Amino acid sequence: MKLKNSAIVAIALASSVSLGAAEKFTTSTINVISTTPLPSIGLPLNIIPANIQIFDSKDLRNQPGVTFADQLINNAQGVTFSETQGNPWQPDVMFRGFSASPLAGTPQGMSVYVDGVKVNEAFGDTVHWDLIPNFAIQNMQVVPGSNPVYGMNTLGGAIAIQTKDGRNNRGAALEVEGGSWGRKRALAQFGGVSKDGSVDYFFGAQNIDEDGWRKHSPTHINQTFGKIGWQNESSKLDLSYIGAYNNMIGNGLTPIDMLGSDRTGIHTTPDQTKNYLNHFALNGAHWLNKDVMLSGNTYYRTSNRNTLNGDANDDFRTYKTLDPASTSGGVDTAGFCRPRGTDSLGEDYDKEACAPGILNRSRIKQRNLGFNLQAAFNQDIWGKKNQFITGLGYDLARTKLTQTEQISEVSAGTAGEADGSPVPSGGTNIAAGTWFDSARRPINLDEEVELDVLLGGRSRTASLFATDTLSLNSQWHLTASARYNHTKVRNRDHIRYGDASLTGDHNFNRVNPSLGLTYTPNDNLSVFGSYSESNRAPTSIELGCANPARPCKLPNAMASDPPLDQVVAKTYEGGLRGKLTESLKWNASIYRTMNHDDIHFINSSTNSGALGYFDNVGRTKRQGFDLGLNGTIDKFFFRAGYSFISAKYDSDIQLLNEINSSNDDDVVNVRKGNYLAGIPKHQFKLRAQYEILPKWFVGSNVVYYSSQFVHGNENNAHNSNTTASDCNDSADGHEKCYGKLSGYTVVNLDTQYDAGQGWKLFAKAVNIFDKEYYSGGRLAETYFSPTGTWGTDDRGVTGVVPGAPRAAWVGLRYEFGGAPEAK
């Protein structure tokens, strides 16, 4: 029967390339990949109008890194990063200037899929890289542009991940690794197929403990993954599970002069995040005949996040005389806590204005479920090859946010009159108190724990999409797509009522189109161009913190919610790709993406701290180009890429920031054409690997990023009053004086030796030349001196995230019961 034989081949293709849209299938010189997050029949890569990058599990395992984000950072064109939270499992990853970050408040712009399930968290569209086990990844692809097929939040691109199964990973493996920073890692995995070939299975677990290279920064990672699959000649089912229980401390931004000579210094402690995950997904595909394929998935996901942050209190205030008549309370020049104006300890007493330290706690509980269905038709139209895919999806998310704060225990005395009588007296002597321990964790806290936020949220998204690729002839291929998204967000405040309440209902609708054209004159050249649109609806946290009159502190509080407009991205892209030989390939692409009604977190206080609100800031623009060359020459493999990214504001806006030296009455005017902070213009990446012996290879990654502006310097005009000698001669001159981080180059090494009988030895090293650099920064203020002692006078600083120093690890892997490698 013809259907039976063709379906066997088709199911093999679907299971290896289409489930999760991240696998690569090679027949001769043609790569076939899925064009949707769900399983589909697949298209040859050379007719897809986009520069899609594909990476596999060997890259993940051989190269240094703790999450698959490191693979992107070290290899992918257009990808930059910042470790804003100071923990390697929690990086901010940016592709073409669009973020996929674990931090609420970061303008998110990328969608991430695992086996066809979107894993951006409902509360803020954040991405927690530690919740995606790298040992479970078979391969992944990076899809550029505002492709509407990949759903909401695909403003600048999408990452689609395919996880391992037992059919392609047979046998068992045990792996241990240890080395710098007290890191200890253990991995166990096994996979296989039943005797009749219908059932396959893969299970794995990984545990990692390390002290961290910065002070007081330990991390504990526990990840599990399992998948059971079944298939016959025309159908396939997979049930998968991802579990995680991770405890991470990353003490984030620190003033440069507090880092110390070894760059391990910190500002305050702790900055702790505990992530818990239970993720279930059922994927299926069925061929009705050799040309029609049905596929779908359903999922249920519970994700909890608990944070504990010890900080210097943003509400702490001082005034410069003993006369507080015109102040709103705080600490006088003698160091004593005073009430507002001439009042004594009455209703006007502002306790928080006198509290140096604060301990913030938050808990986010999320429950997500949904399904996706699609049908793919690989049938000719008017005698021309055509592939049509249509589908629908529904996602429901429920969130609950609880936030509390606990401040230093202080009391206020009496205030003085304007004429100096009576003399102010009493109250806590703030200057003489001890408010932080040796690790700069807040101590001597008030017994009262104040509940700031108790918010329930629900979001529902329904979508319909269709995409069609028509081969006009053997050389010209036309692709058209569209997706309709409808989102409803509901917030319910369980504390505040009236104007101060977070309660609100919001609806967002949009149809996003795309159109692409590809020209393939021969097998060695492909030319493409495309236009695409996508949108991102404001999330619960953004809608709950959108009132300039009631600013909030991320992640510590929220305020009432005027409506925000959804973000719409429009992308033009063109490019070429081809082969110089069968083993030497190249690519070049140019793009321009305009974000309309972009959402940013706007500081409402002048000190560039955490207090602020979300707002639409008009247009922002990202444009640039990518160049790539990769291939194998005898025993030598290499992958090289250069990217240029120009990310700018395309509208004038005003921001508050007294730390920025160019402020006018604390107002910073950002003009059209100013560069967005945190995005280097230039980047170059090289991966090289050489096979010294048939069972021994050595590899290296070289990564270069150019300079970037720090956050708080959005007008690109900050120039501190630091002396010229410090600015010009100091190694940190850019950072101390100009609100700009210097460019840097980092070199990593790795090697592996196959000792036979299933034993493999490996070693990895990062930053082998011990380059001192910063991956991110922000203009801020602190009450701590450079030596770490508390003072009642604030000072403007540049807070930075230091890059990790030289480090190395060695490991041992034992494989048995078959070859775990993908066949």
Pairing of strands 807-816, 759-766: antiparallel
Report how far residue 683's alpha carbon sits from residue 701's, in angstroms, rounded to the nearest whole number.
Answer: 13
Query: Per-residue confidence at 389, pLDDT binned at 50, 70, 90?
Result: very high
561, pLDDT greater than 70: no
Residue 397's CATH number: 2.40.170.20
For all residues of the chain together, what is the average pLDDT? 87
What pLDDT is stored for residue 321 in this prediction?
58
Determine, yes or no, domain membership for 283.
Answer: yes
Residue 117 domain-assigned? yes
pLDDT tens sequence across 151-195: 999 999 999 999 999 999 999 999 999 999 999 999 999 999 999
Q: Is 90 exceeded by the pLDDT of residue 482?
A: yes
Residue pair 560/548 in contact (Cβ under 8 Å)? The answer is no
Averaged pLDDT, 450-470: 92
d(CA 487, CA 396): 10
Residue in this structure with the two tokens 């939270």, named with its chain if needed:
85
Other Cβ atoms less than 10 A from the Cβ of 692: the count is: 11
Predicted confidence (pLDDT) at residue 728 exceeds the cutoff of 70:
no
Which residues are paired to 718 by β-bridges?
A: none
pLDDT in tens, 502-547: 778 889 999 999 999 999 999 999 999 999 999 998 877 777 676 6
The pLDDT value recorded for residue 723 is: 55
Amino acid residing at 746: V
Is the CA virtual torsion 62, 66, 70, 71 positive or negative? positive
Does 428 map to a domain?
Answer: no
The pairing of beta strand 157-163 with beta strand 110-114:
parallel
R_g of the chain computed on alpha carbons: 28
Q: Look at phi and psi of residue 68 and say left if phi exceeds 0, alpha if psi is from -120 to 50, else beta.
A: alpha
Whether residue 751 contacts residue 763, with contact meaning beta carbons closer than 8 Å, is answered with: yes
3-state secondary structure of 79: strand
H or E stretch covering 138: strand 137-144
Does position 496 have pLDDT exceeding 80, yes or no?
Answer: no
By three-state DSSP, how is residue 94 classified? strand
pLDDT given for residue 57 in this prediction: 86
Cα(297)–Cα(118) distance, rounded to whole angstroms?
11
Whether residue 784 lies inside any domain: the answer is yes
Number of domains in the chain: 1
Cα 749 to its chain centre, rounded Å, is 25
Looking at the chain, the whole-number percentage of residues with pLDDT higher than 70 is 86
**671 lies in which domain range?**
2-316+355-409+445-816
- Domain membership flag for residue 658: yes
Separation between Cα atoms, residue 92 and residue 157, nearest integer Å:
15
Q: Give residue 2's pLDDT.
A: 38
Query: Residue 215: how many CB atoms within 10 A of its CB?
Result: 16
pLDDT tens by residue, 66-125 = 898 999 999 999 999 998 888 999 999 999 999 999 988 788 999 999 999 999 998 889
Among the ranges given (3-12, 362-371, 619-628, 797-806), the one the predictor scored with the smallest mean pLDDT: 3-12
Q: How many CB atoms lie within 10 A of CB 791?
A: 15
pLDDT confidence of 494, banded at 50, 70, 90? confident
Task: State mean pLDDT over 776-787.
Answer: 89
What is the CB neighbour count within 10 angstroms for residue 329? 23
Confidence at residue 344, expressed as pLDDT on a 0 to 100 scale: 44
Highest mean pLDDT among 261-265, 339-343, 601-605: 261-265
Per-residue pLDDT of 190-226, as tens digits, reads 999 999 999 999 999 999 999 999 999 999 999 999 9
Q: DSSP letter at 17? A: I
Place of tokens 């402690």: 269
Residue 680: pLDDT above 60? yes
- Is 303 a domain residue? yes
Neighbouring residues of 321: CB distance < 8 A, sequence distance ≥ 6:
332, 333
CB 602 within 8 A of CB 581: no
Q: Cα separation of 658 and 450, whole Å?
A: 29
pLDDT at 573: 98
CA distance 116 to 372: 8
Nearest CA to 508 out of 531, 536, 546 is that of 536
Does residue 752 lie within any of the structural domains? Answer: yes
Band (pLDDT 50/70/90 cuts) for residue 630 is very high
Check residue 453 and give its pLDDT. Answer: 80
What pLDDT is attached to residue 15?
40
Reduced to 3 states (helix: H, G, I; strand: E, B; else coil), residue 382 is: coil
Residue 1 pLDDT greater than 80, yes or no: no
- Residue 426 in any domain: the answer is no
As a whole number of angstroms, the distance between CA 787 and CA 256 comes to 11
**Residue-level pLDDT at 323:** 57
Mapped onto helix, strand or coil, the DSSP state of residue 7 is helix
Give the percent of the chain with pLDDT over 90.
63
Q: How confident is the model at residue 5 (pLDDT cuts 50, 70, 90)?
A: very low
The count of other CB atoms within 10 Å of the CB of residue 648 is: 18
Tokens 């299971």, residue located: 15
